[in-house]
Every structure is written in C-alpha cells, then in structure tokens.
Structure 1
C-alpha cells in the first residue's frame, strides 16, 4: 500500500513536470513567433 501511494505520487509528479515542460516550450515558440 505504501509503495503504491509512492508510485502514484511519482507518476503524478513526472506527468506534471512533462506538462510544464511542454507548456514552457509552446510559450517560448509562441514568443519567438511574435518577435
């Protein structure tokens, strides 16, 4: 049970990090497009 909670927490952390990187990349490309 403990490891399952830890695993799900790591998964959520990993996905949120991936989404943050994607958002950052899209924002940077959007800024480059406007400049």
Structure 2
C-alpha cells in the first residue's frame, strides 16, 4: 500500500545518497592525489 511505497522511496533515497557520498569521496581522493 502507501506505506510500502514510502519505504521503497526511502530505501532508494538512502541508496542514492550512499552512492553519491561514495562517489564524492572517490572524486575527493582523486583530486587530492593529483
């Protein structure tokens, strides 16, 4: 139902944020090394 949709959106948002944060860390490391 609606609660399931909210949970799915929440999970997707958390995964997206995690991926974005991970990518940011990788880019940061790459630029710091250069």
TM tier relative to shorter chain: over 0.9
Residue 19 of structure 1: aligned partner: 19
Q: Does 1:33 find its partner at 2:33?
A: yes
Structure 1 alignment gaps of length 5 or more: none
TM norm structure 1: 0.93
What is the aligned residue count?
34
Q: How many angstroms does 1:16 deviate by?
A: 0.1
Structure 1 vs Structure 2 CA RMSD: 0.3
Moved over 2 A (4+): none
Structure 2 alignment gaps of length 5 or more: none
